[in-house]
Structure 1
């Protein structure tokens, strides 16, 4: 029987292809993406990543598997420190201070994406909650691998791309895939279907994260 991640990846391919070819990404690679859109993305992503780390801790508290628990705790505590450090550099370079962060409303898509992950934590299972985290690793890793040789003429955009092709990030991605496969192998047919749904929903929100930043999404009220 093939690992559940293979089926997830295949089913999510249409969403992922739209992500890879979204104007936010193609313009970022070309160097033509307005910096204000990237600033918007970073502020929304800061909210997302803070919750992403907390979810690692909360899921770790649920699991009894010591290897999975260790990976999730390390992820929450900065296993991917390269991503954290480069974000600090970006915020400094673009002069995004704490006051701007505090006064920037959370966008609808960022809010809904985080709500989806907490729904899987609180209403789903450890397996579906863990699976909800996977596209953030895997999609970004594939994106980095695709774009790193093409590059971007804008230094900050090139640094962003390189973050997701790093050996550390690739290693973390592969470990997360193996964790989801392990949980999938232990799951019932019903839970496997719920895991796939969780993966696809996260992939949907990933696609809309680009659109959110491209149009600088607001609540419209």
Structure 2
């Protein structure tokens, strides 16, 4: 009986596989976006990458906080530990990488403080907090997943040819690294585990959270490429 169950389970399509399939058109648009294409070719204007980094700093700060807040709502010890570790890593390791980029591009603390949050960055972060505070930890975890998974796929696609610009190559390497790939796989497993515990309505809402985050990921590139402003 156990072998039959495992065989059936192996043949089942997981919730994250379904999410990935449904988000595929949005992700393809990300792969084909001029921001990504020009990052790889080295033709992306430096001021556009600077804009991206300043907005991404705001996003990652909240992304890290959300890891901890989601963990606080869960009881599974292994999931909680991964999310707590992720929160610490995003505040420490990712911040260290970004500081190096900021130094190389002369992005000062004063410039960061006086840079307004762009509409898409604001909306993306608000969406994730909404999924936690008005939804559930499972929906919030699903909302976090595209940032891991999409960036990991972009890193793996771009690393094959690389970029002639050193800082762009460093950026690509970050998301193709073994450590980031491992974290991505763990996050996928977490969402699958939470999905297994969810009823059909909750599964659908987790899927919606994932798709919306994928939408905001796509428009993050456009936000940076066009130097989006409120007016």
- How would you bin the TM-score normalised by the shorter chain? over 0.9
Taking structure 1 as the reference length, the TM-score comes to 0.98
Ranges of 4+ aligned residues in structure 1 off by more than 6 Å: none
Aligned counterpart, 1:44: 55
Answer yes or no: is the 8 Å Cα contact 2:61–2:91 preserved in 1. no
Q: Give ranges in structure 2 of 5+ residues lacking alignment.
A: 1-11
Q: Give ranges in structure 1 of 5+ residues lacking alignment.
A: none
Deviation track 1:137-159 (CA, whole Å, cap 9, x = no partner) reads 00000000000011000000000
Coordinate RMSD, CA, aligned: 1.0
Taking structure 2 as the reference length, the TM-score comes to 0.93
How far did 1:104 drift?
A: 0.4
Greater C-alpha radius of gyration: 2
For this pair of structures, how many residues does the alignment match? Answer: 220
- Where does 1:90-101 land on structure 2 (aligned, <5 Å)? 90-101=101-112
Answer yes or no: is the 8 Å Cα contact 1:83–1:163 preserved in 2. no
Q: Does 1:181 align with 2:184?
A: no
Cα distance in structure 2, aligned partners of 1:2 and 1:132: 19
How far did 1:83 drift?
A: 3.4
Q: Does 1:204 align with 2:215?
A: yes
* More displaced 10-residue stretch of structure 1: 39-48 or 77-86: 77-86
Task: Describe the shift of the 1:97–1:79 C-alpha distance in structure 2 as closer, same or farther (beyond 3 A).
Answer: closer
How far did 1:32 drift?
A: 0.3
Aligned counterpart, 1:65: 76
Deviation track 1:61-113 (CA, whole Å, cap 9, x = no partner) reads 00001011000000000169553332111001111111000100000000000
